[in-house]
């Protein structure tokens, strides 16, 4: 189904996760170190990276940053350290989601599917603009079919979660979404997930689309409620 690169130093966890994901139809390549994982990025060409945070040669944050520097491939952090600082650092480094160990095969599968699922055109509800091939919001052009966002004609390198969030918000400009709503729709977390995923993603998205992150124009914070796109 999809090609998953698993970067995990513990052999038992690596084998177990590989086993359960293969059973579910994924093609899995295991890497025991960050270096091996980065090398496999070119040879294996995965659709998604499952990344452990504690690796012998370099930290998972560093691996995440290095992958993000060149590729917008989905990355899910797989961490035994559920402590807040690790989660926040991982999300800031550009991860799309995180899973705290231990996790059942079905949880892994659900998260992988959610991150891999392409932002379906107009999945924010009935949208008159969906008929047009390309929407224009200020300096941004959004191509829902081609899943491209450009600013001043230049394509923006958006990570999957960033793209999905932007597409979801911009489908109904001016409408306010709570973080819980965004978690449910963009990350497909059906329970009360971690609102920091939303905050971290908004922060990363702003650095890419806004002229000034201090006074955001496109993704605005509505204190006490959540976020909205525009109105411009």
Partner 1 sequence: MPALRRPSLRAVAAGLRARLVLAFLLVAALSALTTAALTFREARTAILKRTQDTAIEALRSQVNSQVPDYAFPLSQQALQDLQHRLNAAGSAQRWTVYVRYRGSGLVPGGDHGRVLPRGVQEKVRAGIPAFQRLDSGGDPWLAIGLPVTYRGSNEASGLEVYAQMPLREDEANVQALVKAAQSGALPAVALAAVPALIAARGVLRPVRELRRASRKLAAGELDTRLKVTGRDELADLSRTFNDMAEALEENVAELRRMEANSRRFAADVSHELRTPLAAMTAVVDVLDDDADSLDPDTAYAVRLISEETGKLARMVEDLMEISRFDAGAAALHLDEVDVSETVRKTLQARGWQDKASADLPEGVRARLDPRRIDVVVANLVGNALKHGGEPVDVAVRVAGEGAGRRLLIEIADRGEGIDPEVLPHVFERFFKADSARARSEGSGLGLAITLENVRLHEGTVRAANRPGGGAVFTVDLPLRQGGGETA
> Which residues of this chain interact with partner 1, rule CB under 8 A?
10, 12-13, 15-17, 19-20, 23, 80-84, 101-106, 108, 178-180, 190-196, 199, 221-226
Q: Are 52 and 63 in contact (CB under 8 A)?
A: no
> Is the sign of the CA dihedral 206, 73, 194, 33 positive or negative?
negative
> Residue 10 Cβ, how far from partner 1 at the closest point, in Å?
5
Residue 162 or 194: the one with the smaller Cβ distance to partner 1 is 194
**Cα–Cα distances in Å, from 89 out to 18, 84, 134?**
26, 9, 35
Pick the closer one to partner 1 by CB: 58 or 195: 195
Provide, rounded to whole angstroms, the least separation between the CB of residue 21 and partner 1.
9
**Helical spans, DSSP H, in the chain:** 11-23, 34-44, 60-70, 84-92, 105-116, 160-171, 179-182, 195-209
Of residues 103 and 148, the one with the C-beta less far from partner 1? 103
Min CB(158)–partner 1 separation in Å = 23
Residues sharing a CB contact under 8 Å with residue 172, sequence separation 6 or more, in sequence order = 124, 125, 127, 229
Q: Which is nearer to partner 1, 144 or 179 (CB)?
A: 179
Nearer to partner 1 by C-beta: 42 or 191?
191
Q: Closest distance between partner 1 and the C-beta of residue 207, in Å?
A: 18
Nearest-approach distance from CB 140 to partner 1, in angstroms: 25
Helix axes 60-70, 84-92, angle to 10 degrees: 20
């Amino acid at each position: 189904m999809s090609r998953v690169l698993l970067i995990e130093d513990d052999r038992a966890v690596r084998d177990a996760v590989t086993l359960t994901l293969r059973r579910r139809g994924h093609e899995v390549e295991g890497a025991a170190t960050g270096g091996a994982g980065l090398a496999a990025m070119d040879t294996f060409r995965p659709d998604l990276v499952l990344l452990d945070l504690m690796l012998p040669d370099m930290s998972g944050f560093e691996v995440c940053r290095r992958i993000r520097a060149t590729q917008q491939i989905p990355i899910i952090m797989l961490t035994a350290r559920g402590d807040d600082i690790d989660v926040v650092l991982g999300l800031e480094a550009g991860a799309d989601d995180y899973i705290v160990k231990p996790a059942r095969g079905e949880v892994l599968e659900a998260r992988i599917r959610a991150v891999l699922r392409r932002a379906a055109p107009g999945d924010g509800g009935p949208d008159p603009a969906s008929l047009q091939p390309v929407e224009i919001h200020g300096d941004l052009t959004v191509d829902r079919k081609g899943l491209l966002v450009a600013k001043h004609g230049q394509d923006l390198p958006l990570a999957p979660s960033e793209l999905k969030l932007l597409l979801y918000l911009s489908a109904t400009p001016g409408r306010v979404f709570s973080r819980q709503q965004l978690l449910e729709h963009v990350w497909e977390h059906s329970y009360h997930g971690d609102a920091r995923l939303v905050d971290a993603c908004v922060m990363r998205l702003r650095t890419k689309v806004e002229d000034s992150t201090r006074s955001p124009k496109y993704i605005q914070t509505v204190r006490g409620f959540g976020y909205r796109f525009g109105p411009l």
